[in-house]
Amino acid sequence: MHPCSVIVLVLTGLLNGALAQFGPLPPMLIPSKGDVWNVGELRTVEWGITSDTRLTNETSGAPLTAFVILAYDSGQVLNPVLLESYQLAAGFPVSQKMVNIIVPEVPTRKDYSIFMNFQGLGTSWSAAFEIFNPKDPQGTGVAPTSFSVITAPPISVTVVLPTPTDNAASTTTSAAASPTSSTSATSTSSATASATGSPNSGAYPLSHNDLLAGAGIILLPLLSLVHAVL
What are 130-166's pLDDT values in tens digits?
A: 999 999 999 987 888 889 999 999 988 776 544 444 4
Query: What percentage of the chain reaches a pLDDT higher than 70?
Result: 57
Per the model's pLDDT, the better-predicted residue between 51 and 173 turns out to be 51
List the single range of 14-23, 83-92, 94-103, 133-142 with lowest mean pLDDT: 14-23
Do 219 and 18 form a contact (C-beta atoms < 8 A)?
yes
Structural domain count, the chain = 2
Q: Does residue 108 sit in the same domain as residue 84?
A: yes
pLDDT for the residue 133? 96
Question: What's the CA angle centered on 115, arms 162 and 21, to 5 degrees?
Answer: 95
The C-alpha atoms of residue 6 and residue 178 are separated, in whole angstroms, by 55
Per the model's pLDDT, the better-predicted residue between 182 and 33 turns out to be 33
Q: Does residue 89 sit in the same domain as residue 47?
A: yes
pLDDT for the residue 156? 83
Q: Does residue 1 sit in the same domain as residue 83?
A: no
Q: Does residue 50 sit in the same domain as residue 115?
A: yes
Q: Does residue 32 sit in the same domain as residue 110?
A: yes
The C-alpha atoms of residue 208 and residue 214 are separated, in whole angstroms, by 12
Would you call 59 exposed, middle or buried from its count of C-beta atoms within 10 A (0-12, 13-18, 19+)? exposed
Q: Does residue 160 sit in the same domain as residue 113?
A: yes
pLDDT for the residue 219? 40
Q: Does residue 125 sit in the same domain as residue 203?
A: yes
- Kindly state the greatest CA–CA separation across the chain: 70
The C-alpha atoms of residue 38 and residue 108 are separated, in whole angstroms, by 9
Q: Does residue 53 sit in the same domain as residue 124?
A: yes
pLDDT for the residue 160? 57
Q: Does residue 198 sit in the same domain as residue 224?
A: no
Q: Does residue 151 sit in the same domain as residue 65?
A: yes
pLDDT for the residue 135? 94
Strand partners, 81: 72
**Stretch 122-128: mean pLDDT:** 92
| Domain span holding position 224 | 1-21+214-230
Q: Does residue 186 sit in the same domain as residue 224?
A: no
User: Which residue in 203, 205, 194 sits closest to 152, CA to CA?
Assistant: 194
**Stretch 206-211: mean pLDDT:** 48
pLDDT for the residue 118? 83
Q: Does residue 108 sit in the same domain as residue 148?
A: yes
